[in-house]
Amino acid sequence: MSQSGLDSPTTEGTGRSHKLAVIGGDGIGPEVTDAALTILDAAQDRFGFTTERTEVPLGADAYLETGDLLTPEAIEVLRSNDTILFGAIGSPRVTPGILERGIILALRAELRQAINLRPVRLYPGVPTPIAGLTPERCDLVVVRENSEGSYVGGGSTVHRGTPGAVATQGSTNTWYAVHRAVDFAFRLAAERRGKVTLCHKTNVLVEAGALWLDVVEEVAARFPDVEHDYVHVDAMCMHLPVSPERFDVVVTDNLFGDIITDLGAVLQGGLGVAASGNLNIDGSAPSMFEPVHGSAPDIAGKGWANPAGAGLSLALCLASLGEGEAAAAVESATAQVLADLPELSGANMGASTAELGERIAGAVTDGHGSVQSSLMTQLAAVQAGLAR
Ligand code: NAD
Ligand code: IPM
Ligand code: MN
C-alpha cells in the first residue's frame, strides 16, 4: 500500500499516475471488472490522476489453450505494477481446484498478500435479507489470515476410487503468519471502535486454536485500549446475522474467514456487493483487490451480475494508492446506486452489469452519495503505523 496517506487533498493536473494490472478472469469476472474500470475512468477525470493499465489474461481460456496457470512472466508483469484489480477465477470446464489453487492462491502467496481484508458494511437504503438489520448495526471488518491454515496444509490420497480410499488434508499454522494477522487486526481496531474478536474452533482444532489464542493474548498486551473476545466459528454463523453490532474487527483463520465472509456478504445485500483486498503489508509486492464472489457460471454472459463488489474493491484499491478522495467518492457512488435498485442481482436488477457501471460512474462524476467512509482513513493510519 502507498504510504502517501489516504486523505491527501486533490491536486488537479499534478501528473499522479498509477500502474494497474487487470485480471478479469472467468465467468462474470471480466464483466464486473469492466464495470469497475468504467467507474475508474470517472474517478480519474474528477480527481485528476491517471492509470497505466495492463491486462493480464489468466484463467480458464488461457489454461485450456496453453496449459499455463501462473507463469513466471505473468508474475513479473504483476510485480511491476503498483496494484492489481482482480475479477474472479474458476470454470466448470476445469476440474475444481486447478485454477483456484494454481492462480488465486498462488498469487496471494507469491505476492505475499498476508491479509485478506473483508469489510462487512450495510449501506443506507440497501435491502438486506436479514430482517430488521440496520446500517448502524452492521459495520465490521473481517481480517482473514491469507497465507496458510488448511489452504497450504498439504495432503495425500491413496486408493482413490476404491472403498479403501484414504484422503488426508493438513493445516499449517505458524506463529509468524498468525501474529501478522492478529497484529494487523489490533492495529485496525485501535483506529476503529477498539474491539477484536478472534473467530476459531478451539474446542476441536486444539493445536491451531491454542496458537491463535496465545498470539491474541501476546498482541493484546501491547494494545491496552483494545478489548478482545472469542467466538467459535459455528456460533459466529448465528451471531453474525443476528447481532453484527457486537463485532468491530474479527480476526480469523484462512478457511473460516472464507466461509464467514460469504455470510457477511449476505448481510450487506448479497454476494454481489462484498469487496475485499489482499494486502501486501511489507511493501514487497502489489496488493490485489477483488470482489468476494466467484465467477458465477450460472449467470455469466447475461449481464445479471452486480458490479458493486468490484466497485467497492476498486474503492479499497484507490485508498491503498493514496487516492483517498477518489476512494470515498467511488464508495459513496456505489452505495447510492445500490440503494436505488429494485433487486441486487439477476434479471430484476433493473439494469445490466455494464449499465450499473455507467450509473455508478455517473454518480462519481456528479459527486452523488454521502457515505461517511472511515475504513479508508483507518487503513491509512494502520499502514503508516506499519511503515514506522
Ligand atoms: P460464486 O460466488 O461464483 O456464486 C455463488 C452464487 O452467487 C451464484 O448463484 C451466483 O450467481 C451468485 N453471484 C455471485 N456473484 C454475483 C454477483 N456479482 N451478482 C449477482 N449474483 C452473484 O460461487 P460458486 O458458484 O461457488 O463458484 C463459482 C466458481 O467461482 C467456482 O469455480 C469457484 O471455485 C470460483 N470462485 C472464485 C472466487 C474468486 O475468484 N476469488 C471466489 C469464489 C468462488
Ligand atoms: C474467495 C474464494 C477463494 C478462497 C477460492 C476460489 C480459492 O472462495 O476468494 O473467497 O477460498 O479464498
Ligand atoms: Mn470464498
Closest by CA position to 122, among listed 112, 111, 132, 114: 132
Active site residue 234: yes
Q: What angle do CA 35, 40, 41 make, to 5 degrees?
A: 100
Separation of CA 294 and ligand 1 centre (Å) = 3
Question: Which cell is 34 given?
Answer: 469492466
For residue 99, what pLDDT is reported? Answer: 98
Name the active-site residue from 229, 234, 298, 340: 234
| Cell 443476528, residue located | 242
Q: Which atom of ligand 2 is nearest to the CA of 108?
A: 12
Closest by CA position to 64, among listed 94, 21, 85: 94
DSSP 356: H
For residue 22, what pLDDT is reported? Answer: 98
Name the active-site residue from 26, 123, 201, 253: 201
Please state, in angstroms and rounded to a whole number, the distance separating the CA atoms of residues 386 and 115.
Answer: 13
For residue 380, what pLDDT is reported? Answer: 83
For residue 14, what pLDDT is reported? Answer: 63
Separation of CA 155 and ligand 2 centre (Å) = 19
For residue 250, what pLDDT is reported? Answer: 98
Q: Which atom of ligand 1 is nearest to the CA of 273?
A: 18
Please state, in angstroms and rounded to a whole number, the distance separating the CA atoms of residues 264 and 244.
Answer: 9
Pairing mode of beta strands 139-145, 115-121: antiparallel
| pLDDT averaged over 10-residue windows placed end to end, the chain, 388 residues | 38 78 98 98 97 98 96 97 98 97 97 98 96 97 98 93 96 98 98 97 98 98 98 98 98 98 98 97 97 97 97 96 94 95 90 97 90 82 87
Separation of CA 293 and ligand 1 centre (Å) = 5
Please state, in angstroms and rounded to a whole number, the distance separating the CA atoms of residues 61 and 64.
Answer: 5
Question: Which cell is 214 given?
Answer: 496465545
For residue 388, what pLDDT is reported? Answer: 82
Active site residue 366: no
Under DSSP, is residue 52 helix (H, G, I), strand (E, B) or coil?
A: strand
**b/e code 216-250 from CB counts within 10 Å (16+ = b):** beebbeebeebebeebbbeebbebbbeebeebbbb
DSSP 84: E
**pTM assigned to the model:** 0.95
Question: Which cell is 155 given?
Answer: 495432503
For residue 6, what pLDDT is reported? Answer: 37
Contact at 8 Å (CB) between 4 and 323?
Answer: no
